[in-house]
Amino acid sequence: MQSALSMNSTRNTCCLQTSKGSGIVHKHIIFDCDGVILDTEIVAAEVMSLWLQKQGVAIDQSEFIRAHTGKTFSGIIRELQTLDQLSTHLNIKAAAHEIEQGVKQNIRLVQGVEKMLLQNDTPKSIVSNSSSEYVSKAMTQFSLAGHFQGGIFSSQMVASPKPSPLVYELAVEKIDLPKEDILVIEDSRTGVQAAVGAGLRVVGFLGGSHILPGHADRLLEAGALTTVADFEALTALL
C-alpha cells in the first residue's frame, strides 16, 4: 500500500525538517491556485488545446499538459509565436481573455480541498499566475476566501510570472516570516521552479485531474522536497 507520501518521493524525504509527531515544521502555507485548489489545469488544457487546434497548431490535451501546465495563456501564445506556430498578428490580450472565459465557465474544486482547509488552521496564502481578481472571485464563489487571510498574490503584481521567483519573493515580503517557516504547495514544474528560486521549501501536489504518469519525478527534479498524491496525504504530512 502506498504511504501518505508518493512512492516516487521517498528519496527526498531526508531533506524535510520535521518535529516529533507534527510533520513538516511550518508556520504558514502558500498554495498555488490552479491545479491545487481549483481543478482548472485540466479545463485549461481542454479549452486552450481546442483553441490552438482552431489556430492550426497540432496539439492534444496530453501534449499541452506536458508542455504548458503552470504557464500563463499569454505566455504560451508568445512562446508559440516565437516558434512560428502562431501568427504574430494575433491580439494576445484578446485571445488570452477568450481562453480564460472558457476556463471560468467550467471551474471546479480539486477533490478534498474543502475538508483539508477545515482541518488545518495554519495561516495560508495563495500565489498564482492567474489574476488576483480571478482568484478572489473563485475563492468567494466556493466560500473559501476566509481560509486565505495571508493574502492573494498574482504574477500580475510583478514583472514576470512563474517560473520567475518574483511573485513568491513578493509574498514572502508581505507575509513577513523567515523563509524556513513557510511551506509551498505546487502542482507544476513551473511553480516549483519559482518557489525554489525564491528559497522556499515545496511539496509537489499530484491530486489534480491533469496529472500524468511520471509527473512526480518532474516535480522532484524541479526541486520539490517530496510529493503527495492528494489532500488526504497532504493533511497527514502536515
Domain-located, residue 150: yes
- For residues 95 and 120, membership in a common domain is answered with no
Q: What is the pLDDT of residue 17?
A: 52
> Which residues are within 8 A (CB) of 2 and not within 5 positions of it... i.e. 6 or more apart?
229
Q: Please indicate, yes or no, whether residues 195 and 84 belong to a single structural domain of this protein.
A: no
Last residue of a domain, which of 104, 124, 151? 104
The reply to whether 224 falls in a domain is yes
Residue 2: inside a domain = no
Q: Tell me, what's the pLDDT at 18?
A: 47
Cα-Cα-Cα-Cα dihedral sign, residues 68, 38, 206, 46:
negative
Reported as a pLDDT band with limits 50, 70 and 90, residue 66 is: confident
Contact 127, 168 (CB under 8 A): yes
- Grid cell of 92 as nine digits: 494576445
Range of the domain at 122: 7-39+108-237
Do both 62 and 157 map to the same domain? Answer: no
- The mean pLDDT value for 73-100 works out to 93
- Kindly state whether residue 1 falls inside one of the protein's structural domains: no
Query: What percentage of residues in the chain have a pLDDT greater than 70?
Result: 90
The helices-and-strands tally (H runs, E runs) of the chain is 10, 6
pLDDT number for residue 165: 98
Per the structure, the count of domains in the chain is 2
What is the pLDDT, as a whole number, of residue 69? 83
Buried b (16+ CB within 10 A) or exposed e, 68-87: bbbbbbbbbbbebeeeeebe
Cβ distance 12 to 224 under 8 Å? yes
Interval 92-138: pLDDT, tens? 999 999 998 888 888 899 999 999 999 999 999 999 999 999 999 99
Whether residue 45 is found in the same domain as residue 100: yes
